Structure 1
Amino acid sequence: MPNPISFQIKVVFVLAAAFCTVTNAGGQERLITCDNGDNVHRLSCENGVISVEKALYGRADGETCSEGRPPAQLANTACSQLGTLDVLAQRCNGKKVCELSVNAFRSSDPCVGTFKYLDSTHTCIPAIHVVACEHSLANLYCDEGQIIAVRGADYGRRDRTTCSYQRPNAQVQNVDCSSPATKVAESCNGKNKCTINVSNSLFGDPCAGTFKYMEVAYSCVCKCNGKKVCELSVNAFRSSDPCVGTFKYLDSTHTCIPAIHVVACEHSLANLYCDEGQIIAVRGADYGRRDRTTCSYQRPNAQVQNVDCSSPATKVAESCNGKNKCTINVSNSLFGDPCAGTFKYMEVAYSCVYAEV
């Protein structure tokens, strides 16, 4: 019996075309772009921002993008370029519109002589969009009881109008300047409020002489999602008083969803996998430390004392959602360091869902 989270394609399309877009019942959008010349792969969200779930550059069947192609160019159906999902996610996650030439995936040829295509699936997730000009401060914040989860962040310039007031033309002409602003996630994930100083000193200078700006898309998530047990003091909600003199209470509703729970210590590898025909759906992931016993073997006391250290590990969902198997290198280089000097671990809750086409 398929999992109720599974989806079915509800639009019939012709796979031989140069471009195909399909929206399924689960809100996912699949886009196929044939590798003809400089074809552009365009992802977009009318509501929310892009979250890439699956991506393939190569060939997985003999029908897609097959029109006018000799059989020899369609025979290899086990051809895929390594790192395609990472490239697409890094370029597009957190944006409302993202355009990439298929040329971006031709750095090497995974199957010489095979006619290839780019096939991606993304969802549009609710997010708050913030733009801040160079030399200004960007303030990210959530309601009480929620924490920041950065979906994507860039620093540079992609148009001539944003942050252009009283700027000479020479400073706004370069619109091919964009660098991932990973410091935003490192600084803000897991916090209720966060201020970012938008400057070259924090992000580096991706295009000297151009006046730049930062774009950030982030969500406000519950601290408890994806955990087996979650305890919060009601004090966490007392930063302001919505009704002075009234005795208040905290009222919440939650459901328990089937999930696989994985814990992996810092500097180790975590392996997520599902049965054939199923794909990974990450429900929640954290990196940090919430107790003194997990991943504490032969660690000095100073490295396990801070148990108030937890940051959303959004890279897990970005890397693993939509895959059958996935390996995560648990390290500060991937997640940032939410508590220097503390030996950390990653906790992930995920489900295996059917992906029916």
Structure 2
Amino acid sequence: MAEMMKRIALAERPKGEVGPEHFRLDQTEVPTPRDGEVQVRVTAMSLDPYMRGRMDDVASYADPVPLGGTMEAGAVGIVTESKDPRFAPGDKVFGMFGWASHGVLPGQQLRKLDDRAPMNTALGVLGMPGFTAWAGLTAYGKLKAGETLVVAAATGPVGSMVGQIAKSQGLRVVGVAGGPDKCKMAVDIFGFDACVDHRAHGSAKDMRGALAAECPDGIDVYFENVGGPVLGGVLPLMNLHGRIIVCGMIAWYDGAQDEVARMPLANLWRMALVKRLTIQGLLQTDHVARYGEFLRDIAPKVTSGEFKYVEDVVQGLENAPEAFMGLLKGRNKGKLIVQISEE
């Protein structure tokens, strides 16, 4: 019997929180490659917060997943058939195969992996999340030794890389994470100077007080991943000529409202003027031409153990929806990966 492909499709668009009813597990024949294409057996796929935005049919920086379409994801796998001379069966590759057990893509859309690091690192510390952190800091951070950087979602794959890069350049690094275990990870594993538990400080006022205690000289750089009360606590502590790099707003992805979401724009605009803030949106796709530079800089630090990473691995494609819903609630510890098959 021919091998079958499993995939998870977008069954319906969520209105508010994502639930199991928004996904559908399908089974179909494995697609056959045409000239210039490569067939891959997917071994693991990434789960990332940006996928929530792809589920909504709204104008954004990328097209939404169509109803009935395969959920989007970066994945790694093994080439099983190739009609591109640059790839051969057995090669390890990265590509945007989505939430699926197999896939076919044009060869120019694949990146061949080597054996200097485990395959799954191409989904996290040496993949899009790690690159996002590096690209944002090197392009917009203007880091200076002695400054203070705060990063939200500090133990995730983006936040943990942000903190380690900044720490290596002589900054004081304060993380924000959900729960004492994650805060301990930020300090003990990733080398942060301190970490504030946002679950213990539910309001913007409480967050401001907790952050002020760890940032006695104010905040020079804020790497934004969450929005919500964390942002509300950070803003009054920003120093003159501070830089805010806006990478994500996970607290608001499901349409949640809070005191910061309702804050008058005039207040923010006045703060930006008075403190001469730079507020910069970050999309890693704007920086892909620098990916080789990123790997040359960061890969040796990862393989030597200088930079640490933590992976949270869920077994089985069928468990991806539940894992994704947990990601949006902050239940993962480290880079969330779905292992689909063995390498």
TM-score, structure 2 as length reference: 0.29
Larger proportion of strand = 1
Larger-Rg structure = 1
TM-score, structure 1 as length reference: 0.28
Larger proportion of helix = 2
